[in-house]
Amino acid sequence: MGFGNSSKLPSAPASGGAANLRRRPRPGETVIQALLFLAASISIFTTIGIVASLGVEAFTFFREVSLVQFFTDTVWQPAIERFGILPLLSATLATSFWAMLLALPLGLLVAIYLSEYAPRKVRNFLKPVLELLAGIPTVVYGYFALNTVTPIIRNLFGQQRVDVYNTLSAGLVMGILILPLIASMCEDALSSVPRSLKEGAYAMGANKLEVSLTVVVPAAFSGIAAAFILGLSRAVGETMIVAMAAGAGPKLTLNPFKSAETMTGHIVRISGGDLSYDSMDYQSLFAIALVLFIVTLGLNMLSTRIVRRFREVYE
């Protein structure tokens, strides 16, 4: 009885129907893939070109100056053939330290507020306003550090104690510069934490602050750590703020109230003068730039490794 309708069941596709299931050529998709591959290739070859251009001149420099002298000498005076990068490196790390000391806690607090506390309308207003700081030219930040932040610091700690050009002022303004980057990346990391984790913590009796600090922040640790390291990389490579507010003249000092010259600031100051091609002064700029490139590359690789190591995977 029930087998009488078996003739109405769909039959197996014919050989011609199977051929229709094969992948059809899509010229538009092929063009898009080719453009994406071209863009990736351009970025890779651009990086290789940068490394090659820096490496050739730096290799010529290091044929005259040993690596031991370059990384251990505490004096940078090309006029007397003293090429010790420690004064430039210490000033770079000092300004970056003050920048991160301001940007890290403030950026994380802003991210926690935006992701956990702020209403939707407030978040939609505050986040674009905060990210506007990243669009301000760095030369404006330099003038702000020199004409606003430095007078405040000198009034607080004394005119005689604080130089007009100092690493503290430059570092604090650099912290304001990288604050949007850290806050935005941390907020994205916090927002990606599954809602089920927070609801489970609320079900156990935790309040909003406890959930934010003991559940959400640890779960988003990989993204927060990557944001911190990328912010540090941005601070190390900053140029105009330190060139205008930190001072000129390489000197080995850890006093934040004194002037000092960073690697990027030295490159800007020296490259703007009259340097003869193939001179030691000219080639030393490439050696400094190569060190700066290696430092920032190492920080970016470290952030990638941290993300892979501590990434939380949820189903």
Asked whether residue 315 is domain-assigned, the answer is no
Highest average pLDDT, of 37-46, 60-69, 80-89, comes from: 37-46
The CATH number linked to 263 is: 1.10.3720.10
Asked whether residue 168 is domain-assigned, the answer is yes
Asked whether residue 303 is domain-assigned, the answer is yes
Domain that holds residue 150: 85-310
Asked whether residue 288 is domain-assigned, the answer is yes
Asked whether residue 24 is domain-assigned, the answer is no
Asked whether residue 281 is domain-assigned, the answer is yes
Let me know if 282 is exposed, middle or buried by CB neighbors in 10 A (0-12, 13-18, 19+).
middle
Of 281 and 288, more confident: 288
Let me know if 123 is exposed, middle or buried by CB neighbors in 10 A (0-12, 13-18, 19+).
middle
How far from 99 is each of 135, 172, 233, 257, CA to CA, in Å?
18, 5, 11, 15
Q: Which residues pair with 76 in a beta bridge?
A: 83
**Cβ within 8 Å of residue 103, ≥6 positions away:** 174, 175, 176, 178, 179, 182, 231, 235
How far from 149 is each of 142, 166, 178, 187, 189, CA to CA, in Å?
10, 11, 17, 28, 32
DSSP-assigned letter for residue 205: T
How far from 5 is each of 1, 2, 8, 10, 14, CA to CA, in Å?
8, 7, 6, 11, 21
Q: What is the pLDDT of residue 2?
A: 47
Of 131 and 11, more confident: 131
For residue 205, is it left (φ>0), alpha (ψ between -120 and 50) or beta? Answer: left
What percent of the chain stands above pLDDT 90? 22
Taking each helix axis from N to C end, the angle separating 280-310 and 221-236, rounded to the nearest 10 degrees, works out to 170
- In angstroms, the CA 230 to CA 237 distance is 11
Asked whether residue 304 is domain-assigned, the answer is yes
Asked whether residue 18 is domain-assigned, the answer is no
> Above 70 in pLDDT, residue 18?
no
User: What's the pLDDT band for 98 if we cut at 50, 70, 90?
Assistant: very high
Q: What is the pLDDT of residue 108?
A: 92
Worst-scoring range by mean pLDDT, 124-128, 174-178, 286-290, 303-307? 303-307
Let me know if 296 is exposed, middle or buried by CB neighbors in 10 A (0-12, 13-18, 19+).
middle
Which tokens in the block code for residue 98? 């003050």
As for how many domains the chain has, the answer is 1
Residue 61: name the closest of 294, 261, 293, 282 by CA.
Answer: 282
Per the CB < 8 A criterion, the answer to whether 252 and 90 are in contact is yes
